């Protein structure tokens, strides 16, 4: 069997090809393409029983129908999130769909703090100045983190790793989640209602999945609750933040700054070179004009360690599919309860 891997970055390609060669010794091969899976490219998969997709793939109903009509039976997504997959349609089409249920939490947690520190210490502005041999300090004053309060929205594996770094800074720890994490409790975290967290935190960082219940979790009301000099960081999913409301708050001169690795309308933008194109997304264009906003390209997960772990898990998912085994990574068909 040959597997078609969509959306493979140049840095990923040798890791994927080596992992497949080591795991399958020629029995199953992988073909890597740099195009991302969407309605326009789904037909490329005709004749491939298995495809592997990247985090920003379009796996909505029409794409899944095209895949199934072309003979695809198995989809292995190389990410944890699956809000881009229409699982009901996949089930109706008898497609097996798997994901990577977990990988290195440190990649995202460390990057979230990188964003927070870049905003707090005005790193982008400082670097741009010094490239022009402008070494003034005006406008570059930041704040110590020690003794300040961080609010962690979502305290799973990534949220816990983020909290451990905050603990190392000597910060006060607030958390919100549907279930408390004993490890975060042991670090001194105090779990509070979401509104109290937004009111009290000097840094708010998001580490929850995008679900109907969490969409626009940071809305106009939540932003109104935040301190005027707070920092907001989102390295999880773009849809957690109401970007229009965020722009309104920034336009009013509130918030010390914002670090975003994700954007709610990033599909078709992130992972592409749009440097020569006319930007038609007015919200993103306005967001980019604020000097206290740092936007990166959904790269928090993108370390050699995490990507290697993602690829290894994808290989195991393919092995399980070929052997007819089920694991916790399989989304469709769902495992029976218990």
CA–CA dist 72, 43 (Å, integer): 11
Q: Which of 202, 119, 103, 118 is nearest to 156 (CA)?
A: 103
For the beta carbon of residue 145, count every other beta carbon within 10 angstroms.
Answer: 21
Cα separation, 5 vs 13, in Å, equals: 10
Rounded to the nearest 10 degrees, what angle do helices 304-323 and 13-24 cross at? 40
| Other C-beta atoms lying within 10 Å of the C-beta of residue 332 | 21
Tell me how far apart the alpha carbons of residues 320 and 299 are, in angstroms, rounded to a whole number.
28
Q: For residue 332, what is the enclosing H or E element? A: strand 330-332
Q: Return the structure tokens found at 11.
A: 């840095």
CA atoms within 13 A on the CB side of 78: 27
How much is the CA Rg of the chain, to the nearest whole Å? 21
Cα–Cα distances (Å) from 147 to 140, 170, 173, 189, 233, in that order, read 21, 6, 10, 14, 19
Nearest partner of 253 among 234, 277, 229, judged by Cα: 229
CB 172 within 8 A of CB 150: yes
**Residue tagged active-site, from 195, 237, 286, 309:** 237
Residues paired with 31 in a beta bridge: 4
- Which of the residues 266, 304, 326, 328 is marked catalytic? 266
For the question of residue 237 being annotated catalytic, the response is yes
CA–CA distance from 46 to each of 64, 70, 211, 319 (Å)? Answer: 12, 4, 31, 21
Active-site amino acid positions: 237, 266
């Amino acid at each position: 069997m040959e597997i078609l891997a969509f959306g493979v970055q140049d840095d990923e390609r040798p890791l994927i090809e080596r992992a497949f060669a080591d795991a399958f010794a020629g029995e199953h091969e992988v073909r890597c393409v740099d195009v991302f899976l969407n309605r326009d490219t789904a037909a490329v998969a005709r004749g491939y029983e298995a495809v592997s997709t990247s985090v920003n793939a379009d796996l909505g109903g029409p794409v899944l129908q095209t895949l199934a009509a072309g003979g695809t039976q198995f989809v292995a997504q190389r990410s944890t999130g699956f809000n881009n997959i229409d699982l009901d349609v996949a089930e109706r089409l008898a497609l097996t769909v798997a994901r990577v249920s977990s990988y290195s939490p440190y990649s995202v947690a460390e990057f979230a703090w990188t964003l927070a520190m870049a905003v707090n210490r005005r790193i982008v502005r400082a670097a741009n100045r010094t490239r022009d041999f402008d070494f003034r300090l005006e406008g570059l004053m930041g704040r110590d983190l020690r003794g300040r309060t961080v609010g962690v929205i979502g305290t799973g594996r990534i949220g816990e790793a983020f909290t451990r770094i905050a603990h190392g800074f000597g910060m006060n720890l607030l958390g919100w989640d549907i279930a408390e994490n004993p490890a975060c409790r042991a670090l001194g975290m105090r779990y509070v209602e979401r509104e109290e967290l937004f009111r009290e935190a000097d840094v708010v960082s998001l580490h929850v999945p995008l679900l109907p219940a969490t969409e626009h979790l940071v809305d106009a009301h939540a932003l109104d609750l935040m301190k005027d000099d707070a920092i907001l960081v989102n390295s999880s999913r773009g849809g957690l933040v109401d970007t229009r409301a965020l722009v309104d708050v920034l336009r009013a001169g509130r918030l010390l700054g914002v670090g975003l690795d994700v954007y709610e309308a990033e599909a078709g933008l992130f992972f592409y070179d749009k440097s020569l194109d006319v930007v038609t997304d007015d919200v993103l264009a306005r967001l980019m004009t604020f000097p206290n906003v740092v936007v990166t390209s959904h790269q928090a997960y993108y370390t050699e360690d995490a990507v290697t772990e993602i690829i290894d898990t994808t290989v195991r998912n393919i092995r399980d599919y070929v052997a007819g085994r089920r694991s916790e990574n399989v989304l469709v068909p769902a495992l029976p309860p218990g």
